[in-house]
C-alpha cells in the first residue's frame, strides 16, 4: 500500500530507464519502492495494479481485456474488413480493463495466387480460432478474442479469395 500523500509533482531527475519488458521487470525487481509498467504476462511476482474504472478498482484479466476491445468503437472510414478499434480508455464498466495493447494481422483479401490465398486463409483462420487464441495465451499471455470479435474477424477470413 502506498503511504505517501500525493503532491502533484513528478521528479525531474533520477529514475532509471530499461530496455524492453524484461529490462523493465529487472529494474523494478532490483529497485526499492520502484514502480514501472510491464506487460501483465511478464510481470511475474511483481504484482499488478488495480486501476480505477468508474467507481471501482479493476485488476487485469483476459476477460476484461477482451471486453474493452469488444465494447470499443471501430475506427471510421476504413475498409469493409478492416477492424481497427478506438479503444475506450475512459470506460466506466468494471467488467473492462482499458490498458490493453491490441495486435493486428494484415492480409490481402484479393490474392493473385490461389495457393497463397489458401495459405493466408488457413493461417488467419487458425490465429483467430479458439485453438490459436489458446496457443497465444499459453505462449505469450495474450488475452483471447471474445466470441463476438472472433465472428467479426471470421468475416474477413472468409472474404479472402484468389483472383486467378
pLDDT for 11 equals 66
pLDDT for 12 equals 64
pTM confidence score: 0.78
**pLDDT digit string, tens, across residues 37-76:** 887 778 878 888 889 999 999 989 889 999 999 999 999 9
pLDDT for 56 equals 93
**Exposed / middle / buried, residue 152 (Cβ in 10 Å: 0-12, 13-18, 19+):** middle
Which one has a higher pLDDT value, 4 or 98?
98
Mean pLDDT computed over 13-24:
81
Q: How far apart are CA 72 and CA 85, in angstroms?
A: 6
Domains detected in the chain: 1-49 (no CATH), 50-162 (3.40.190)
β-pair partners for 9: none
Helix 147-159 with 62-70: angle, nearest 10 deg: 60
CA–CA–CA angle 53, 3, 28 (5° rounding): 75
> Phi/psi at 6 (nearest 5 deg)?
-70, 140
Which residue's entry shows cell 497463397? Answer: 116
**pLDDT digit string, tens, across residues 71-102:** 999 999 999 999 999 999 999 999 999 999 89
Amino acid at each position: 500500500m502506498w503511504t505517501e500523500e500525493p503532491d502533484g509533482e513528478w521528479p525531474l531527475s533520477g529514475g532509471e530507464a530499461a530496455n524492453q519488458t524484461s529490462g523493465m521487470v529487472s529494474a523494478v525487481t532490483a529497485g526499492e519502492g520502484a514502480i514501472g509498467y510491464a506487460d501483465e504476462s511478464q510481470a511475474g511476482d511483481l504484482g499488478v495494479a488495480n486501476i480505477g474504472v468508474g467507481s471501482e478498482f479493476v485488476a487485469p484479466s483476459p476477460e476484461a481485456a477482451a471486453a474493452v476491445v469488444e465494447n470499443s468503437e471501430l475506427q471510421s472510414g476504413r475498409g469493409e474488413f478492416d477492424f481497427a478499434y478506438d479503444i475506450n480508455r475512459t470506460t466506466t464498466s468494471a467488467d473492462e480493463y482499458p490498458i490493453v495493447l491490441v495486435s493486428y494481422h494484415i492480409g490481402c483479401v484479393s490474392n493473385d495466387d490461389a495457393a497463397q490465398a489458401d495459405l493466408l486463409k488457413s493461417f488467419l483462420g487458425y490465429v483467430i480460432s479458439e485453438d490459436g487464441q489458446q496457443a497465444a495465451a499459453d505462449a505469450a499471455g495474450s488475452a483471447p478474442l471474445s466470441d463476438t470479435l472472433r465472428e467479426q474477424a471470421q468475416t474477413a477470413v472468409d472474404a479472402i479469395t484468389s483472383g486467378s
